[in-house]
Structures are given as C-alpha cells and as structure tokens.
C-alpha cells in the first residue's frame, strides 16, 4: 500500500498532494468504475428501449423491463457512490479520529464487495436476456449496440469493483500506527491531565541532624536540685 500510518494514510492534518492522489491505483480504479457505470446506465436509458409496431417502449433485453431497470439502477447507484468515495478518499487523511477512519474503510469494503457481486449478477442477467432476444424484436438491429455496451461494461465493472475491494481490505489490514495520534485523536475526547501526586505521609526526619544541639561534657559537675 502507498502511504504509511493509520489505514494507509499519513499523519492527520498533513498537506493534500493532488498529483500523488491521482497516481494512486485506488484513484485510477475509482475513475474507471465511475466511467463504466455511466456507460451502462447511459446506454440503457438512451437506446435500451425500442417500440415495435406500437407506441409502447420495450426493453431491448428480451422485452424484459426488469433487465433494463436492474442495469439502470445498479449503474446509477454505482455512479453516485464513486463520487462519494472519491470525495471520501480526498478527505480521508484529514480525518483525525482512528475510529472514524476505521468506519470509513469498513464502509468501503462492504459497499465495494456488494457491488462487485451485483455487477456479476447484472452481467449474467443481461447476457441471459440478450441471448433470448429474437431478431424480430429488434428490427434493423435497433438498440443492439447499446445492449452490447451495457453487457461489456458490466463485465468490466466486476473487475474494477473487485480491485477496489482488495485495495480497501489492504488498507484495513494495515491497521494503524498509534504513534501518529494523540489521545484526543484516538477516542475523540479531550486528553485528561493527571493530578500531581501527594505523598501519603510527611517525612518524619526533616533534617540530617537536630539543629543547635550540643554534645554533653562528661567532666562537667552534675547539677542537683536543692531540697528545701
């Protein structure tokens, strides 16, 4: 993984480098996934419906509107999700809380993994319906190019989203370097300053020796108290 620190990013608050960000494999995969999803739902919306002998529009995939609706829905959500995660990638290094970074990475793993599976379903579904489409349903091969484009880019999307899932898992496995964060960054709370410790008992011997003490003279006469 590129970058060091918490979940593949450097120290929180570091300056954002646009050139390095664009050159990251994750950013390249994100842009490709964004373009592929736009091609899928754009092709179906523009040329995925035809009318044969009537004013009613039918889906080019075996007249199955569910096939067209599925491709449009998956592609449109993927298109919007790419924008969301692209912005999140740009702001990721500015996230100071380790817990928030972990949540963002887990969200990316879950969504990318799910959409990898949904793109696989989309590819299989569209291929199946396209194989069942009769030539009579598409006079002059109307809408065929759009159908093939949707199928092809659904297939390409499987690998781009799978790559994004792998990159997100790698970020999660990197974990975090706790030395890059203070206590405030880790748990989101203000650091608590400890109180100074006070000794339980006061020292009994404050001086090395008692002050102003004289040693008794053994030869001096003993003073006795007079008896009255």
pLDDT of residue 119: 97
Cβ atoms of 97 and 185 closer than 8 Å: yes
pLDDT of residue 92: 84
Cα 228 to Cα 226: distance, rounded to the nearest angstrom:
6
pTM (predicted TM-score)? 0.71
Show pLDDT as tens, one digit a residue, over the chain (228 residues). 444 456 555 555 556 778 888 889 999 999 999 999 999 999 999 999 988 777 788 899 999 999 999 999 999 999 999 999 999 988 888 887 888 889 999 999 999 999 999 999 999 999 999 999 988 888 788 889 999 999 999 999 999 999 999 999 998 888 754 444 444 444 455 545 555 555 555 555 554 555 555 555 566 555 555 565
| 41 CB neighbour count, 10 Å cutoff | 22
pLDDT of residue 194: 52
Cα 113 to Cα 154: distance, rounded to the nearest angstrom:
15
In this predicted model, what pLDDT tens digit does every residue of 202-219 receive, in sequence order?
A: 555 554 555 555 555 566
pLDDT of residue 180: 44
Cβ atoms of 158 and 40 closer than 8 Å: no
Cβ atoms of 177 and 6 closer than 8 Å: yes
Question: What are the CB-based long-range contacts (under 8 Å, 24+) for 155-159?
Answer: 155/123, 156/32, 156/36, 157/33, 157/36, 157/37, 157/40, 157/78, 157/115, 157/119, 157/122, 158/116, 158/119, 158/120, 158/123
pLDDT of residue 159: 97
pLDDT of residue 183: 44
Angle, in degrees to the nearest 10, between helices 98-131 and 144-174: 150
Measured over the CA atoms of residue 131, residue 132, residue 136 and residue 140, the dihedral's sign is: negative
pLDDT of residue 112: 97
pLDDT of residue 214: 55
């Amino acid at each position: 993984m590129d970058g060091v620190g918490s979940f593949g990013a450097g120290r929180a608050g570091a300056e954002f480098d646009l050139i390095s960000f664009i050159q990251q494999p994750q950013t390249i995969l994100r842009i490709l996934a964004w373009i592929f999803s736009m091609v899928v739902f754009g092709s179906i919306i523009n040329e995925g419906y035809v009318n044969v002998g009537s004013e009613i529009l039918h889906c080019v995939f075996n007249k199955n509107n569910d096939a067209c609706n599925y491709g449009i829905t998956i592609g449109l959500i993927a298109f919007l999700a790419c924008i969301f995660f692209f912005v999140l990638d740009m702001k990721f290094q500015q996230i100071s809380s380790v817990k928030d970074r972990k949540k963002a990475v887990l969200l990316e793993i879950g969504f990318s993994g799910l959409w990898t599976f949904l793109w696989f379903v989309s590819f299989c579904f569209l291929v199946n319906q396209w194989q069942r489409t009769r030539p009579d349903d598409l006079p002059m091969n109307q809408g065929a190019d759009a159908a093939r484009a949707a199928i092809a880019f659904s297939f390409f999307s499987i690998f781009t989203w799978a790559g994004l899932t792998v990159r997100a898992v790698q970020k999660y496995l990197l974990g975090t370097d706790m030395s890059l964060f203070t206590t405030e960054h880790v748990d989101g709370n203000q650091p608590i300053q400890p109180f100074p410790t006070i000794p339980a008992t006061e020292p009994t011997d404050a001086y090395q020796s008692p002050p102003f003490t004289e040693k008794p003279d053994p030869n001096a006469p003993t003073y006795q108290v007079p008896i009255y």
